[in-house]
Amino acid sequence: MSQINKVLLSQLRQDYEAIQQQGSPLLACQGMLVPQGMEDMRFLIKGSMRPIVSNGDPAEVQYAGGFTGIVPGIPNTKYSGNIQILVTEAGYDQWFAEYIVATGGVIDCDYYDGRLDNFTRSYELLNCAIRFEQAEFDSESRSQVMTISCPCDYNYFGINASIGTNGTVQLGQNSSGATSFASRVQSVISTTQSALSSVSQIASAASRLGSLFS
């Protein structure tokens, strides 16, 4: 008996070409959350949320005759996530917590797919309300580093506000906020590349990056 649903080599070749066009899978470690104002903290943030837009819950509409319809919800602008921060002997986690409290409990952050100086996409997270939970000491955890869990609520509006339509209204160009964000990211990249181009300037790269957001 011959197989009916045969898998042909030509079909596998078509799948291969379609997969290649979608790009390589992104590793979970290839990301970086960069707090604005304390850019060096990105090295101690071992885990964070990666933003993505989503609509709210749909509304149900009851029609005569027993039919239930669905009306899609509006896009969410408020999201929640969790940040994991490494604890160091120098106490940089404590300084970060003090900084956030001193600035009113809310800061802005940028997330990068890749590194700050080499990435494929960047995301702007606004009004990040980061809270710090207590770390736990354990005398038996001799092969584990101490971390702090930080719940975070933030506002996110997507990577491109000019995509899509709203009824009969075609959306236009990027807003001024999106334009300024793109300019700021490009400024960070240019500063980083120029600093790392010379060995003598590597030591001052961190301070130059921090001054961009002051």
Q: Write out pLDDT tens, residues 33-78.
A: 999 988 889 999 999 999 999 999 999 999 999 999 999 999 999 9
Taking residues 197-209, report their average pLDDT: 52
60: which strand partners?
70
Q: Check residue 197 and give its pLDDT.
A: 59
CA distance 115 to 95: 24
Q: Check residue 174 and give its pLDDT.
A: 41
Q: Which of 39-48, 75-84, 195-204 has the lowest mean pLDDT?
A: 195-204
Q: Check residue 180 and give its pLDDT.
A: 59
Q: Tell me which of 160 and 123 has the higher pLDDT.
A: 123
Residue 5's pLDDT band, with cuts at 50, 70 and 90, is: confident
Residue with tokens 């989503």: 54
Find the Cα–Cα–Cα–Cα dihedral 152, 178, 162, 164, rounded to 10°: -10
CA distance 100 to 128: 10
Whole-number average pLDDT of the chain? 82
Q: Check residue 72 and give its pLDDT.
A: 94
Task: Give the other-Cβ count within 10 Å of 188's Cβ.
Answer: 21
The tokens of 133 are what?
């939970």
Q: Tell me which of 155 and 191 has the higher pLDDT.
A: 155
Taking residues 92-110, report their average pLDDT: 93
Mapping DSSP onto H, E and C, the string for 87-151 reads CCCCCHHHHHHHHHHHCCCCEEEEEEEEECCEEEEEEEEEEEEECCCCCCCCCCCCCCCCEEEEE
